[in-house]
Amino acid sequence: MTHEYIDLQTVGHVQGAVRLPGSKSISNRILLLSALSQGDVAIVDLLASDDTAVMLAALRSLGVQWTEEKTATGTIHHVKGVAGVLPNKSADLFMGNAGTAIRPLTAALAVIGGDYTLHGVPRMHERPIGDLVDALNAAGTNVEYTGNPGFPPLHIKQGKIHAQRLSVRGDVSSQFLTALLMVAPLMAREHAITIDVIGELISKPYIEITLNLIRRFGVTVGQNGWESFTIEPGQVYQSPGTIHVEGDASSASYFLAAGAIAGGPVRVEGVGKDSIQGDVRFAAALEQMGVQITMGDNWIEARSNGVLKAIDADFNHIPDAAMTIAIAALYADGTSTLRNIASWRVKETDRIAAMATELRKVGAIVEEGADYIKVTPPAVITPATIDTYDDHRMAMCFSLVSLDGAARKGNVMRINDPKCVGKTFPEYFAAFAAIAK
């Protein structure tokens, strides 16, 4: 257990602008699509974080060549596509705790075939992957569990795809469907491939990101609502030449919430009204809480109109950004309820349990259920030492509890293990300090 921490002084007002790091969801999808395509791809503004480093290292181990070019305005990653044929037929891949890396990569390696092992940190070995593996193996791949059935670590061998229809559960993680959609063109060599979704599909905006990027790489996907998806045969991923990574809309939530809680205006740059990320809908949730939101093509701004209104809403569509709403609820005029968030329980940590535990430390009354959390704010927020559970979003969320310091100047919030933000936003605390001067 690390004993590192950061102490945040309470702050009464925030304002400023923050340039967002690249989206993790978009970055790791683009990396894999680029590797699988015909031709070379230049990726502008790829996120530099633990999760993308894991994907880049895995691609290199698989024989995919890439280089990083520093420019005056940022970075460009040049990836040489392998047209669906990996140079290295065997590799041992460490996937950290990156769900956006291990799930699509598992599907790609299973369909391509070879001799591959995938493993990660202990928490990764507790995060489910069984629904994806079941769908793949039913279609003819050969994926084995080398630890607990249903979870990594995995051993992938050569299989033979024979199915023209696959089915996958949609109610545990949308990443299973994302993984199958991304590799479907590799399976649809001679026959169309249809993927059926069993049950309710959660986190639909993340599937929209996947479909949008697949189209950018030249493959069309037929869609029957959210029930099934069909890829016609003979389609091959083609390099789009240059592709830009949007700013991370999930990371935007902390700064927009800061503006909502402590005055503002706070502007995030890198996402706007044309974003392909569902988490920009976080801004609409803040509007429901009485926050003034303005949007441009590539920016969003939040400013406070006084005390926040309590919210009772379904957050299935934005599970990651919804965590920030649970913190904003500390500053609301009553009890807020976040519903339909069962997926929190299988993320980097059990986020419902973790959020409830830490919110209680600062004085909130919290009720947690299998798929919901209710937060009643305290009269005065109590300074506390916050544990982060090796979860980047817990650390970033609870930085916000240092805001609105009018009643408690000189109080300190301590965040344990602040370095866990490296998973998506290594410079987070510096960016937060810049608006909280």
Find out whether 264 and 286 touch, Cβ atoms under 8 Å: no
Residues 6+ apart with CB under 8 A from 288: 309, 311, 313
What is the number of helices (H) and of strands (E) in the chain? 12, 23
Find out whether 395 and 388 touch, Cβ atoms under 8 Å: yes
Sheet holding 242-244, edge to edge: 66-70, 75-80, 40-44, 242-244
Find out whether 190 and 233 touch, Cβ atoms under 8 Å: yes
Assigned token pair, 84: 């669906």
Report how far residue 152's alpha carbon sits from residue 133's, in angstroms, rounded to the nearest whole number.
10
Find out whether 380 and 408 touch, Cβ atoms under 8 Å: yes
Residues 6+ apart with CB under 8 A from 325: 257, 282, 285, 289, 311, 315, 336, 338
> What number of residues does the chain have?
437
Report how far residue 138's alpha carbon sits from residue 253's, in angstroms, rounded to the nearest whole number.
39
| Residues designated as active site | 320
Please name which of 204, 207, 180, 208 lies closest in space to residue 194, comparing C-alpha atoms: 180
Report how far residue 370's alpha carbon sits from residue 344's, in angstroms, rounded to the nearest whole number.
10
Please name which of 182, 181, 189 lies closest in space to residue 160, comparing C-alpha atoms: 189
